[in-house]
Amino acid sequence: MTYAPESVHPEKVEHSGDQNGWKDKDKSEMSNGNVIEDACKPNLDGDKNSYVENDDQEENLPDGSPHDICLTSERSLSTVVRVQENGSDNAIYHSEDGMEVNISEIEGTPGVDNVGLAPFRNRREQSCSSRRLEEALALYEQELLEDDDEDDKDWLPFRRFAVQTKWFCTNCTMANFDDSVYCDLCGEHRNFELIPAKMLGKFEASRERLEAESKNDAVTLPSPTPSMLEESSTSSFHKRTAIGFDERMMLHSEIKMKSHPHPERPDRLQAIIASLTASGFFPGKCFPIPAREATYQELAMVHTSEHVDAVELTSCNISSYFTPDTYANRHSALAARLAAGICADLATAIMTGQAQNGFALVRPPGHHAGVKDSMGFCLHNNAAVAVMASRAAGAKKVLIVDWDVHHGNGTQEIFDSDKSVLYISLHRHEGGHFYPGSGAASEVGTFGGEGYSVNIPWKCGGVGDNDYNFAFQHAVLPIAYQFASDITIISAGFDAAKGDPLGCCEVTPAGFANMTQMLSGLSNGKMLVILEGGYNLQSISSSATAVVKVLLGDNPDPPPQDTQPSKSGLKTLLEVLEIQSKYWSSVREHYLQLQLHWQALYGRKKRKIIIRRHIVKGPVWWKWGRKRIVYEHWFARVPLRKRSS
């Protein structure tokens, strides 16, 4: 699934550049060789590089005369959903199947009655008023009357666009019909604003500035000023928790094309930052570390050079796709380098004692990125890069706990045969039907790494605090303590959170706080939390903030002692422990205990059935012979004698 542009051979790019390993001259050369002929058309060659668009074509978009209003077929007309910014004054309308309708900006009163769009995602969207739509419509219908082409009969007039609209929940990206006010999925109000418009304006401005800067190749680090660093390191309390963040990771975002907003969106970081700020945690109690881009060598320690090159090459295209849901824009490679670099530096800071623990507030996420694949919204494997940095700073054994709702197939692959890295993942699996499909309990590691992958695969959605707590008590903690790691890295996706549109599970902020608390006793308290997935802005904000609170030393209330796992959760744990007790003596007693637990709760019915079977013995004809008499007597109410006579 690796993106490999044919016109630029990966070997052309040598890896002996500057001290960071990056070649200086590469970018311009790459972009010359990389012009795709049919720029605005999806490439249908499977999922490989499925859409590439070139700068030049972007400028050749229709200029908005009525002739330029493209029409889509009747089916797609009913599902037109979204107006997106085009970088110019043109508004582009998207239908659900990805077709576009382009209308030029028509003078009108902006924002009077917008077309039913998510309110704050992009305020340019709002400026397209229905009055403008009406005017465009009038122009189009006039054209239609003058046009006598027979072929146009199966095309519906433009009006349906204005009538059939949907809105996208700003909180969870769910598409909702126009007549509903609350999101069908997460219950948020249609006008949900996590961040007040005022603040958003500030962010938009800085996004534009950053964009301009990175275009001019004159990127300056908007890292904390020396005074900020000094100020926060004066108190020893502040030395405890480090946070890694850089605004430029918010430049990674999907370019138009699709009607539905991508769940892995810049607002995720913004939402978490806003929540940490409101709690006084950051800036404040946590101290920032300067952001750094990972070097070529750092990335090549966990990925093939072809993979690193492929990610780098995306900076030459307006839009690239590794898989249909793993996008890149021109800033994605930078964002991915920053994400990995921040994780590496946090790991180093924790290993060297500059910080007790840390939170990497990064995107794109990383745990699906394998040795040579970008997938599942992930470009580089941030956790794996952090493992390598921990090692370089002296860690002999590294524990990774992955509580993202998806299995971290990439991380598992990278350390599959590595005994010095214990990978424990809890995830929805559903017998392989849940993305990415890997992570069965039977996957334990290979080629000497057996027992160093521990998979806890939930059989269904809806898993909550109880099951997670239970799994921690009986599998994660015993195994992790026996492993005795030097640092704990948490692949902390918040998509198992209650309200997440992808995970559909039930974990609460208190649940995440407790999991953090339980892990904080490991590795002498050295703990790095790395953001992976999580797509409900409210859920991820409150969850991440609850985690940071624990990192800062706050002890959350322990979960109630009498909580029980779900039946299917208990079953999963039994399966995991049966397999893992081969490798970890610490879970053998738990395995026996859980077997008794199961017997006590669900074993009785089984025994009854067995007993009944033992009562009725003898050949079939005999059993049926006896039963026939009983059935006839009870149900047919036919006197037994009559029948036989």
Binding positions for ligand Q9C, 578-617, rule CB under 6 A: none
Using rule CB under 5 A, residue 268 touches Zn ion: no
d(CA 218, CA 210): 10
Task: Mark 428-447 with x for binding to ligand Q9C (rule: CB under 6 A) and - for no binding.
Answer: -------x------------
Binding positions for ligand Q9C, 242-301, rule CB under 6 A: none
d(CA 292, CA 249): 12
Report yes or no: 366 and 413 within 8 Å, Cβ to Cβ: no
3 state SS of 319: strand
Strands 357-360, 326-329: pairing kind: unpaired
Nearest distance in Å: CB 368, ligand Q9C: 6
Using rule CB under 6 A, residue 533 touches ligand Q9C: yes
Q: Please pick, from the candidates 495, 512, 556, 594, the single residue that binds Zn ion as defined by CB under 5 A.
A: 495
Nearer to ligand Q9C, 47 or 178 (CB): 47
Nearer to ligand Q9C, 46 or 394 (CB): 46
Q: Which residue is nearest to ligand Q9C (CB)?
A: 533
Report yes or no: 449 and 419 within 8 Å, Cβ to Cβ: yes
Using rule CB under 6 A, residue 377 touches ligand Q9C: yes
Using rule CB under 5 A, residue 439 touches Zn ion: no
Residue 467 makes CB contacts below 8 A (sequence gap 6+) with 458, 565, 566, 569, 572
Nearest distance in Å: CB 404, Zn ion: 4
Residue type, 35: V
The alpha carbon of 503 is separated from its chain's Cα centroid by a whole number of angstroms, namely 9
Helix axes 382-392, 332-351, angle to 10 degrees: 40
Q: Which stretch binds ligand Q9C (CB under 6 A): 130-138, 332-340, 353-361, 375-383?
A: 375-383
Nearer to ligand Q9C, 272 or 522 (CB): 272
- Which residues face 453 on adjacent strands? 423
- Rg over CA atoms, the chain: 29
Using rule CB under 6 A, residue 495 touches ligand Q9C: yes
The alpha carbon of 600 is separated from its chain's Cα centroid by a whole number of angstroms, namely 39
- Which residues face 359 on adjacent strands? 243, 529
Nearest distance in Å: CB 319, ligand Q9C: 18
d(CA 475, CA 571): 13
Cα within 13 Å of Cα(213), Cβ side: 15
3 state SS of 320: strand
Catalytic residue annotation: 368
Task: Mark 524-563 with x for binding to Zn ion (rule: CB under 5 A) and - for no binding.
Answer: ---------x------------------------------
Nearest distance in Å: CB 112, Zn ion: 40
Nearer to ligand Q9C, 125 or 402 (CB): 402
Which entry of ligand Q9C, Zn ion, none binds 376, CB below 5 to 8 A by partner kind?
ligand Q9C
Under the rule (CB under 6 A), what is the footprint of ligand Q9C? 325, 365, 368, 376-378, 404, 406, 435, 493, 495, 532-533
Under the rule (CB under 5 A), what is the footprint of Zn ion? 404, 406, 493, 495, 533
